[in-house]
Chains A and B, each alone.
Chain A
Amino acid sequence: MRKTNADGKSWLISQAELEAWLDSISNARSLIAPRQVSGTVLYRPVSKINEIAWPGGRPGKSSASPRPVLSVKEIFFPPTERLFKIQKTGQEIHLEEAYPDWETVVFGVRPCDSRGVKILDALFLDTNPVDSFYARRRANTTIIGFACKEMGPTCFCTSVGGAPDDAQDVDIMLYETEAGYLAEAVTERGRFLIPAGEWRETTNSPETSITIEQFPVPENGKWPEHFNDTYWTRMSERCLSCRACAYVCPTCHCFAIRDELIGPGEFDRIRCWDSCAGANYRRLAGGHRGRPEKAERLRNRFFCKFYYYAEQTGLGNTSACTGCGRCIDVCPVGVDITEVLQDLERPA
């Protein structure tokens, strides 16, 4: 069922109008959209509209198409972020921080991706202390969502409380129609970006998206009883601890902090992505390695996604999984999150 925070106004626009609008946006500020990068679709800055890898391949067509391999999380929480610069002169230290200039619009964001951003907000913005880098990017980015007409083969957003046309987490939502798009301003910021005077208002509602059958997902409170199951040893045998699943996930947020040498007496303190699936994630300097077994690591990853994260951030009975299915797409050995969830729900 579609959920929306719209102020009630919708507009019908053609492909040409959409392109002209995006064009004007990219002239005034930075526009990020799905883009072909040597054969792989990723969110990247675009300066010309023909650089956009349109959902569906051709504008106006069905939207069951390759989504960007990485989620939109990399815009707000980039793989590497410089925290501050360090200058060491003799015994003295000088620290200098710099924030990137940031005024961005990101286009083509599916509800599963924008839901992921909202979930990250719970940790980076709504839990003290506020993460200043994430906050800055978040405050200066407008999200133009793009509803999915139908769910893809590995999608399961509806099983985790989402929907392919859920407009809650974006600033503007676009729905495909026969003649073009129906646009809704979901937030004030989105409203600001819409050239209301130029667009045709409408009272139409968007078509409901085609969903696939839901399956039950264990409630948060049910996870602790599965902690000691031997199931985890069996299902993790094929896992390579490669961490690809965590990196493409819209809500995995673990990071490492390091000082890197950039010149004589000059260092950058950076943070970069990391994942609990990696074998050395919990290695202590003395040599003790926590979670040495794959089963422990994979169990931790699932527990964090479906139980710990919500506990730590006060999200309530919600999982941190948005059902985007990217982890299923990229796993080289076929670990399938939907299989795990359904196995856990099955009576023993």
Chain B
Amino acid sequence: MNANPLMPTLGRLVEVRDLATEIKLLRVEMQNGGGADFQNFQPGQFVFVSAFGLGEAPFGIANAAGRGPLVDFAVARLGSVTTGLHELDVGDQLGVRGPLGNSFPMAKFKGRNLVVLGGGIGGAPLRPVIQHVLDHRGDYGKLTILWAARQPSLLIFTDEYAEWQAAPDTELHLTVDKPEDGWGHSVGLITQLLEKVSPSTRNTTAVTCGPPVMIRNVTRMLAGMGFAPEDSYVTLEARMHCGLGKCGRCNLGEKLVCVDGPVFSMAEVGNLLESY
């Protein structure tokens, strides 16, 4: 008899961190280490997290494997499942199903420069890329991080910026749409920041994640700057229910975000983003 692929593995919430206004980082210890599947999840993969009684929803895994036994997710409180997750206490059990989806081709990125663009909570699935690069610093070229949010209180992982900036050959640029008192960095959209930073396209791959509007605008700008479609990657969010390619909900043209993605190169989905 086949195992039920929709059955979650149980995990226990061991730490909750406030990342930003209404955004929390949940750190989960998988039961029995989560088995083989969870030992080496790859940057870009996602899981379904269950707030039992309310439902489950997909979240990008927000850390790189190998940094400890915990699995991180960034949860913005927007609906019933995310509210349920926000209301969990340390010690509560929850469900985790995965890791699902494909991952960033980190092997292909070796030796190249990387430009990482994260908008709002879209930065969460990019954190494993940053962490992977930092943990294997010698394998990768220059790392340029552009990090944006609507306002300073919505920037995530602020307590890690120092670590990122301190790494060799690594730059971090921040921008917000609406500054607050004491904001000393750029003001404006991430596209404006991108224009200002103007990274070289030579031997460089760009990786973008954020709200749909941002993905469309940034990837268009990157293409205009000379990034070839094979060198521009996105990770997409979509409304999902099964995450296994069965329920049909997350399709982008003939591609399913949950099994063909969530990581795509623009060569694969460039023409499909209009309906995203």
CB within 8 Å of B: which A62-119 residues: 83-84, 86, 88, 91-93, 95, 97, 99
CB within 8 Å of B: which A117-150 residues: 123-124, 127, 129-133, 135-136
A2 CA to B95 CA, complexed, in Å: 50
**Interface-forming stretch among A39-47, A190-198, A204-212, A300-308?**
A300-308
Q: Is B6 an interface residue (CB 8 A)?
A: yes
A300 CA to B92 CA, complexed, in Å: 41
Q: Is the CB of A92 within 8 A of B93?
A: yes
Chain B residues whose CB sits within 8 angstroms of the CB of A133 once the complex forms: 4
Q: Is the CB of B5 within 8 A of A132?
A: yes
A69 CA to B231 CA, complexed, in Å: 51
Known: A93-B93, A97-B7, A259-B54. 11 other contacts (CB 8 A): A91-B91, A132-B4, A255-B246, A256-B247, A274-B247, A282-B238, A285-B57, A290-B239, A290-B275, A300-B251, A303-B253
Sorting the interface of chain A by its residue count into under 10, 10 to 19, 20 to 34 or 35 or more gives 35 or more
Proximity bits, A268-290, B CB within 8 Å = 1, else 0: 01010010100001111110101
A291 CA to B3 CA, complexed, in Å: 34
Given A86-B53, A88-B52, A132-B4, does the pair A255, B253 have CB atoms closer than 8 Å? Answer: no
Q: Is the CB of B6 within 8 A of A283?
A: no
A83 CA to B7 CA, complexed, in Å: 8
Chain B residues whose CB sits within 8 angstroms of the CB of A258 once the complex forms: 55
Q: Is the CB of B249 within 8 A of A282?
A: yes
Sorting the interface of chain B by its residue count into under 10, 10 to 19, 20 to 34 or 35 or more gives 35 or more
Q: Is the CB of A132 within 8 A of B3?
A: yes
Q: Is the CB of B254 within 8 A of A97?
A: no
- Of A255, A257, A274, which contacts B55 at CB under 8 A? A257
Q: Is B28 an interface residue (CB 8 A)?
A: no
A258 CA to B57 CA, complexed, in Å: 10
Q: Is B241 an interface residue (CB 8 A)?
A: yes
Shortest 10 CB-CB distances between A and B: which pairs?
A285-B79, A285-B78, A129-B5, A254-B248, A311-B254, A132-B2, A308-B254, A93-B93, A132-B4, A130-B2
- Of A282, A304, A308, which contacts B239 at CB under 8 A? A282
Count CB-based A-B contacts (< 8 Å): 126
Q: Is the CB of A88 within 8 A of B53?
A: yes
The secondary structure that dominates the A interface is mixed
- Of B1, B8, B76, which contacts A132 at CB under 8 A? B1
Q: Is B29 an interface residue (CB 8 A)?
A: no
A156 CA to B197 CA, complexed, in Å: 59
**Which chain A residue shows the least CB distance to B81?**
A285
- Of B4, B78, B245, which contacts A83 at CB under 8 A? B4
Q: Is the CB of A129 within 8 A of B247?
A: no
Q: Is the CB of A91 within 8 A of B7?
A: no
The secondary structure that dominates the B interface is loop
Q: Is A296 an interface residue (CB 8 A)?
A: yes
Q: Is A61 an interface residue (CB 8 A)?
A: no
Chain B residues whose CB sits within 8 angstroms of the CB of A269 once the complex forms: 6
Q: Is the CB of A97 within 8 A of B4?
A: yes
* Closest-CB distance, A76 to chain B (whole angstroms): 13
Given A93-B94, A95-B10, does the pair A267, B52 have CB atoms closer than 8 Å? Answer: yes
* Closest-CB distance, B179 to chain A (whole angstroms): 23
Q: Is the CB of B247 within 8 A of A255?
A: yes
- Of B7, B242, B249, which contacts A281 at CB under 8 A? B249
Q: Is the CB of B276 within 8 A of A259?
A: no
Q: Is A20 an interface residue (CB 8 A)?
A: no
Q: Is the CB of B5 within 8 A of A131?
A: yes
* Closest-CB distance, B35 to chain A (whole angstroms): 15
* Closest-CB distance, A329 to chain B (whole angstroms): 23
Q: Is the CB of B246 within 8 A of A253?
A: yes
The winner among B8, B239, B276 for most chain A CB atoms within 10 A is: B239
Interface residues of B (CB under 8 A from A): 1-8, 10, 50, 52-57, 76, 78-79, 81-82, 89, 91-95, 211-212, 237-239, 241-242, 244-249, 251, 253-254, 256, 275-276
**Which chain A residue shows the least CB distance to B55?**
A259
**Which chain B residue shows the least CB distance to A293?**
B275
* Closest-CB distance, A106 to chain B (whole angstroms): 21
17 contacts between A and B (CB under 8 A): A91-B89, A91-B92, A91-B93, A93-B10, A124-B246, A130-B5, A131-B2, A132-B4, A253-B246, A257-B55, A259-B55, A271-B242, A276-B248, A282-B238, A282-B239, A284-B239, A290-B238
* Closest-CB distance, A246 to chain B (whole angstroms): 10
Q: Is A242 an interface residue (CB 8 A)?
A: no
Q: Is A1 an interface residue (CB 8 A)?
A: no
**Which chain B residue shows the least CB distance to A130?**
B2
Q: Is A312 an interface residue (CB 8 A)?
A: yes
A128 CA to B253 CA, complexed, in Å: 20
Q: Is the CB of A123 within 8 A of B246?
A: yes
A149 CA to B75 CA, complexed, in Å: 58
Q: Is A330 an interface residue (CB 8 A)?
A: no
Chain A residues whose CB sits within 8 angstroms of the CB of B253 once the complex forms: 303, 308
* Closest-CB distance, A82 to chain B (whole angstroms): 11
A217 CA to B185 CA, complexed, in Å: 58
Q: Is the CB of A288 within 8 A of B256?
A: no
**Which chain A residue shows the least CB distance to B89?**
A91
Q: Is the CB of A259 within 8 A of B79?
A: no
CB within 8 Å of B: which A138-177 residues: none
- Of B8, B244, B248, which contacts A253 at CB under 8 A? B248
Q: Is the CB of A257 within 8 A of B246?
A: no
Chain A residues whose CB sits within 8 angstroms of the CB of B56 once the complex forms: 257, 259
A291 CA to B81 CA, complexed, in Å: 23
Chain A residues whose CB sits within 8 angstroms of the CB of B55 once the complex forms: 257-259
